[in-house]
């Protein structure tokens, strides 16, 4: 039998799943992950949630400072410049960098204060962004694995038609030994013939069972 | 009120009562059915087109039959099949598959069924619900395509 069993899709690593969620896989890798996800709906649901969140995040516009915030920034800059111009006549030769540093620090502090999120400016409420659940198109059919299917009866000549599933008879055939068998009762057939039994371990030359 | 009107009234009441008692019974019988979805796939080595829905099935098939490169969905049918009964599912070119539900869902939700395809013997197996079990056939279409089927059972205790 040429077929090798147990070649079903293996579980992708967390990194691979993350790359799939981010849309970074090539076609072949993406197909392989999608096939695996088709048989693992819980993980597929989780990945879908991550992708929905990513799409919603990408659609979210960058927050722009309000007019009041801009006003505070402008006021802070003007105050810093005014302080610098006042200090200019009194500046000490040799230390101009101190005034410049102080002015820059003040301006930066004003910018920070204006943009600090804690005293968030009251803005018009925006409608919450609801991630659109993409309707899966052409979702692949989930395939059963060898663990999902147990083949009970099959014609021997049809075994090579199996794609998934292990036939009941697996090679090599292992014969039971004397210690494996306990005969509890043997009844003769209608014509009084008793079956002959042997195991390969205790009968080096087993008799022909067809002989009486 | 005449006797005939009384009798007619009693008969009508009896019919209504019988109807009320019968309908839930019939619903329970339907609930015991197992829904079987059977799709027929034609595959060949002359192209590279793979139906997107068949990607996973094609991947599994190609592990054993790497020459098959084109997979197209030919037919898809869904039927409720009563336990112990058989149903025929159309495939291609008047060919049919016969599916018998041998046993309903067990404690693990697995169903035992027998599938008979053209030119193959009956094949019995147990399977879980919601997943397609692909199987090759020996049948070749007029276009020399190989016929495959994939069988899925569902509605097993709500699955």
B75–A contact, CB cutoff 8 A:
no
Across residues B70-98, what is the average pLDDT?
92
Digit-coded pLDDT (tens) for A182-209: 888 888 888 888 877 766 666 556 555 5
Q: Are B114 and B127 in contact (CB under 8 A)?
A: no
Contact B57 A141 (CB under 8 A): yes
Our CA-based measurement puts residue A73 at a distance from the nearest CA of chain B, in whole angstroms, of 56
B37–A contact, CB cutoff 8 A:
no
What percent of chain B is predicted at pLDDT more than 90? 60
More confident position, A85 or A19: A19
Question: A152 exposed, middle or buried (CB, 10 Å; 0-12, 13-18, 19+)?
Answer: middle
Q: Are B118 and A158 in contact (CB under 8 A)?
A: no
Distance of CA A115 to the CA centre of its chain: 38
Contact A142 B138 (CB under 8 A): no
- Kindly provide the residue ranges of all beta strands, DSSP E only, lying in chain B, ordered along the sequence: 34-44, 70-81, 86-90, 96-103, 111-116, 123-127, 133-140, 146-154
pLDDT at res. B143: 93
Across residues A6-31, what is the average pLDDT?
76
Please name which of B126, B125, B123, B99 lies closest in space to residue B110, comparing C-alpha atoms: B126
- State the Cα–Cα distance between residues B8 and A1, nearest whole angstrom: 74
Residue A20 pLDDT level (bands cut at 50, 70, 90) = confident
- State the Cα–Cα distance between residues A172 and A86, nearest whole angstrom: 99
A149–B contact, CB cutoff 8 A:
yes
A174–B contact, CB cutoff 8 A:
no
Across residues B14-20, what is the average pLDDT?
45
C-alpha distances out from residue B155 to A82, B117, B133, Å: 78, 23, 16
Digit-coded pLDDT (tens) for A163-179: 999 888 877 778 888 78
- State the Cα–Cα distance between residues B95 and B81, nearest whole angstrom: 19
- State the Cα–Cα distance between residues A93 and A136, nearest whole angstrom: 72
Q: Which of B103-107, B132-136, B137-141 has the lowest mean pLDDT?
A: B103-107
Among all chains, which residue has been given the structure tokens 């008692």?
A: B21
C-alpha distances out from residue B54 to A39, A113, B42, B50, B136, Å: 14, 58, 11, 7, 14
B73–A contact, CB cutoff 8 A:
no
Contact A161 B63 (CB under 8 A): no
**What's the ipTM?**
0.75
Residues of B in contact with A161 (CB under 8 A): 120, 135-138
- State the Cα–Cα distance between residues B141 and A202, nearest whole angstrom: 55
Our CA-based measurement puts residue A193 at a distance from the nearest CA of chain B, in whole angstroms, of 35
pLDDT at res. B73: 93
Angle A27-38/A41-59 helices, nearest 10 degrees?
130
Mean residue pLDDT of chain A comes to 73
What percent of chain B is predicted at pLDDT more than 70? 77
pLDDT at res. A124: 52
Across residues A157-163, what is the average pLDDT?
90
Strand partners, A119: none
Query: In this complex, how many residue pairs, one in chain A and one in chain B, have their CB atoms less than 8 Å apart?
Result: 110
Mutation for A interface: B48, B55, B150, most A CBs within 10 A = B55
Among all chains, which residue has been given the structure tokens 């990408």?
A: A58
pLDDT at res. B54: 92
Q: Which of A51-55, A58-62, A192-196, B6-10 has the lowest mean pLDDT?
A: B6-10
Contact B150 A141 (CB under 8 A): yes
Angle (nearest 5°) at CA A135 between B110 and A32: 60
pTM tops 0.80 = no
Sign (positive or negative) of CA dihedral A100, A106, A111, A112: positive
A157–B contact, CB cutoff 8 A:
yes
Cis omega (within 30 of 0) for bond into A186: no
Is the pLDDT at B105 greater than 50, yes or no?
A: yes
Q: Which residue of A has its CA nearest to B125?
A: A151
Mutation for B interface: A6, A163, A165, most B CBs within 10 A = A163
Our CA-based measurement puts residue A168 at a distance from the nearest CA of chain B, in whole angstroms, of 10
Residue A3 pLDDT level (bands cut at 50, 70, 90) = very low
Q: Can you read off the two tokens belonging to residue B31?
A: 């609930």
Among all chains, which residue has been given the structure tokens 């027929």?
A: B40
Q: Which of A123-132, A138-147, B143-152 has the lowest mean pLDDT?
A: A123-132
Residues of A in contact with B125 (CB under 8 A): 149-153, 165
Residue A93 three-state SS: coil
Digit-coded pLDDT (tens) for A25-37: 877 788 788 888 8
Mean residue pLDDT of chain B comes to 82
Digit-coded pLDDT (tens) for A66-121: 888 888 888 889 888 888 777 655 555 555 666 677 777 777 775 665 566 555 55
- Kindly provide the residue ranges of all beta strands, DSSP E only, lying in chain A, ordered along the sequence: 149-153
Residues of A in contact with B114 (CB under 8 A): 153
Of the partner residues A38, A154, A158, the one whose CB lies closest to the CB of residue B56: A38
């Amino acid at each position: 039998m040429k077929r090798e069993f147990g070649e079903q899709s293996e579980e992708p690593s967390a990194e691979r799943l993350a790359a799939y969620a981010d849309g970074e896989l090539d076609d072949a890798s993406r197909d392989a992950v999608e096939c695996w996800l088709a048989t693992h709906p819980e993980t597929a649901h989780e990945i879908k949630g991550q992708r929905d969140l990513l799409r919603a995040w990408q659609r979210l516009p960058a927050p722009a400072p309000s007019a009041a915030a801009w006003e505070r920034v402008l006021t802070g800059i003007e105050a810093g410049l005014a302080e610098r111009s006042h200090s200019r006549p009194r500046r000490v030769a040799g230390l101009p960098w101190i005034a410049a540093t102080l002015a820059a620090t003040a301006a930066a502090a004003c910018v920070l204060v204006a943009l600090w999120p804690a005293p968030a400016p009251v803005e018009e409420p925006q409608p919450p962004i609801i991630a659109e659940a993409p309707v899966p198109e052409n979702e692949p059919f989930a395939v059963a694995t060898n663990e999902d299917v147990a083949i009970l009866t099959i014609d021997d000549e049809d075994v090579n038609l199996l794609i998934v599933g292990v036939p009941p008879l697996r090679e090599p055939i292992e014969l039971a030994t004397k210690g494996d068998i306990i005969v509890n009762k043997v009844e003769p057939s209608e014509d009084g013939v008793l079956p002959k039994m042997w195991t390969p371990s205790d009968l080096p030359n087993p008799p022909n069972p067809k002989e009486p | 009120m005449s006797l005939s009107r009384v009798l007619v009234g009693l008969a009508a009441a009896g019919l209504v009562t019988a109807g009320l008692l019968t309908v839930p019974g019939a619903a329970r019988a339907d609930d015991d059915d197992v829904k079987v979805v059977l799709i027929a796939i034609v595959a060949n080595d002359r192209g590279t087109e793979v139906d997107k829905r068949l990607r996973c099935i094609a991947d599994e098939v190609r592990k054993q039959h790497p020459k098959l490169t084109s997979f197209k969905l030919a037919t898809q049918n869904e039927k409720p099949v009563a336990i112990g009964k058989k149903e025929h599912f159309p495939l291609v070119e008047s060919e049919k598959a016969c599916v018998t539900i041998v046993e309903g869902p067990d404690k693990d939700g697995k169903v035992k069924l027998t599938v008979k395809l053209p030119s193959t013997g009956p094949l019995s197996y147990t399977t879980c619900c919601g997943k397609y079990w692909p199987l090759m056939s020996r049948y070749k279409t007029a276009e020399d395509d190989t016929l495959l089927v994939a069988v899925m059972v569902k509605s097993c205790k709500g699955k």
